[in-house]
Amino acid sequence: MNPKIWLSSPHMGTNEFKNVKEAFDTNWIAPLGPHVDGFERDLADFLGEGVHVAALSSGTAALHLALIMLGVKAGDEVICQSMTFSASANPIAYQGATPVFVDSEDRTWNMSPDLLELAIQDRLRNGKKPKAIIVVHLYGMPAEMDRIMAIADRHEIPVVEDAAEALGSFFKGQKLGTFGAMSILSFNGNKIITTSGGGALVSNNEAYIKQARFLATQARDAAPHYQHSHIGYNYRMSNVCAAIGRGQMDVLLERVQQRRANYSFYQETLAVIPAIQFSEEPNGDYYSNRWLSTVLVDDSQGVSREDIRLALEQENIESRPLWKPMHLQPVFANAPYYGNGTSERLFDQGLCLPSGSNMTDEERERVVSCIKACFAR
C-alpha cells in the first residue's frame, strides 16, 4: 500500500516546539499566559484595520460568543450561508434561535447577495428582522463582501464573518476576518495554521473583545471571591496552544504560498481534462489562501466526483466531497431556506483534493495521475 496522502494535515515550522518548551520551562501551562497575549497581538498585527482579538478554544466557541453578544435569543432568526460546515450554523441553535439559510452564487460559492436581499425582505414581511448574518468564506475564497456589507448596512443587521477557512485571504486588499461587526477564525488541526485546536474572535470594537474574554473565562465579576452576574463559558485558549499558534504565525504567509502552489499545480496538470472545472478567483479583487483546492466534476463524460473520490481512496489518498449544504441536513430540515439550487449542484459535483502545505511534488503527482487514470479508462 502506498503511504497515506491526507486532505490537509498539520504542518509545523521551526518555532512552535521551541515556544511550547518555553511554556513548559516557565510553567505557564495554566489556561492563560504570555503566549495567549502574544498570539492575540500577532493576529491583530497581521489582520490590521485596527482589530482586537480574543484567542479562544475553537472557532465554534467564537461564533457562539459573537451571537450571545449580538443578543441572539430563543425565537430569534439568524441568516446563515447554507453551503458551509455545520459549525457555522450550530451556535444559532445553541441560542434557541432559528437559522434562515441562504444559497450561494456561482462565482465564489459563497452567500449570494441577491438571495440575501430576498431573504431579508421576506423575513421582514413575515414580521421578523434577522438578528445577524453569518457569511462564510469557503475554502478560503472571499465572499462578495462589498455587496453583502452594503445590504447588511442598509437593513442595519450586523454581519458575523466566518473566516475559519480564510486566514491570509483578502478582498479588495482588505484581509478577511476584518469586515464583520465580529469575525471568527479557526485553528483546528486541518486549517491553514493550527494550534492543535483553537479559534479566535476578531472585532474592531474593543468592547466586544473584552466582553468575549470575560464570558470565555466563566464570567467572573471583579471580586476576590467567585462572584457571577452572567452565565459564563470555558472557552479560552490555553497558553500551550497559543505557543504553537505563535510559531505558526511565523510561517503563515509561506503556508498561503504553498497552498496556492498546490492549486496552480492541479489547475495546470488537469487542464487536459475538460470535465474538471476549477474554482477561479473571479477577478483581481479576490485573493484566496486556497486552504483547500476544490474542483467540480461534470459527469457527462462518464466519470463522476464519486468515481474520482473512490479511485483516490483505493490509492490511499484522502479527498472529500464539498460541504453538504445545511438546508439538506436532517437536523435543519425545518429551517427556512432561500435558494436557487447552486449549493446542491456544488455538493453533487464538487471534490476537495489533498491540499496540505506539506505535500511533496511526488504526492501531488500521485494525486494527478490517479485522477487522469479515471478518465483514461
Kindly give, in sequence order, each residue whose CB lies less than 8 Å from that of residue 95, ignoring residues fewer than 6 positions away. Answer: 64, 67, 68, 72, 73, 74, 76
CB 211, CB 177: distance < 8 Å: no
Residue among 84 and 108 whose Cβ is closer to ligand PLP? 84
Residue with smaller CB distance to ligand PLP, 87 or 346: 87
- Which residue, 136 or 371, has its beta carbon nearer to ligand PLP? 136
Give the strands of the sheet with 293-297, arranged side by side. 276-278, 293-297, 350-353, 320-321
Size of the residue set binding ligand PLP (CB under 6 A): 14
Q: How far is the CB of 88 from ligand PLP (least distance, A)?
A: 5
Scanning 53-61, 66-74, 169-177, 329-337 for contacts with ligand PLP by CB under 6 A, the matching segment is 53-61
Q: How far is the CB of 176 from ligand PLP (least distance, A)?
A: 12
Sites for ligand PLP among residues 78-137 (CB under 6 A): 84-85, 87-88, 136
Residue 120: all three cell numbers together: 431579508
Q: Which is nearer to ligand PLP, 291 or 375 (CB)?
A: 291
Considering only residues 19, 52, 53, 58, which one is a binding residue for ligand PLP as defined by CB under 6 A?
58
> Which residue's Cβ lies closest to ligand PLP?
59
Q: How far is the CB of 137 from ligand PLP (least distance, A)?
A: 8
Contacts of 93 (CB under 8 A, 6+ apart): 99
Residue 308 grid cell: 474520482
**Which residue lies nearer to ligand PLP by CB, 58 or 304?**
58
- Beta carbon nearer to ligand PLP, 188 or 204: 188
CA atoms of 143 and 177, how far apart (whole Å): 11
Between 69 and 87, whose beta carbon lies closer to ligand PLP? 87
Interface with ligand PLP, residue 59, by CB under 6 A: yes
Which one of residues 10, 142, 168, 199 is an interface residue with ligand PLP (CB under 6 A)? 199
CB of 61 to ligand PLP, least distance (A): 7
The smaller minimum CB distance to ligand PLP, of residues 116 and 273, is found at: 116
Shorter beta-carbon distance to ligand PLP: residue 239 or 304: 239
* HSE value, Cβ hemisphere, 13 Å, CA-based, for 241: 24
**Residues 146-185, mask of contacts with ligand PLP (x by CB under 6 A):** ----------------x-xx--------------------
Beta carbon of residue 375, minimum distance to ligand PLP (angstroms, whole number): 30
Instruction: Determine, following the binding rule CB under 6 A, whether residue 142 of this chain makes contact with ligand PLP.
Output: no
Which segment (42-50, 58-66, 118-126, 367-375) binds ligand PLP by CB under 6 A? 58-66
251-310: contacts with ligand PLP (CB under 6 A): none
User: Which of 44, 136 has the CB closer to ligand PLP?
Assistant: 136
**Backbone φ/ψ region at 159: left (φ over 0), alpha (ψ -120 to 50), beta:** beta
Q: How far is the CB of 182 from ligand PLP (least distance, A)?
A: 13
Residue 186 as a binder of ligand PLP (CB under 6 A): the answer is yes
User: Smallest distance, Å, CB 259 to ligand PLP?
Assistant: 15
Residues that bind ligand PLP (CB under 6 A): 58-60, 84-85, 87-88, 136, 162, 164-165, 186, 188, 199
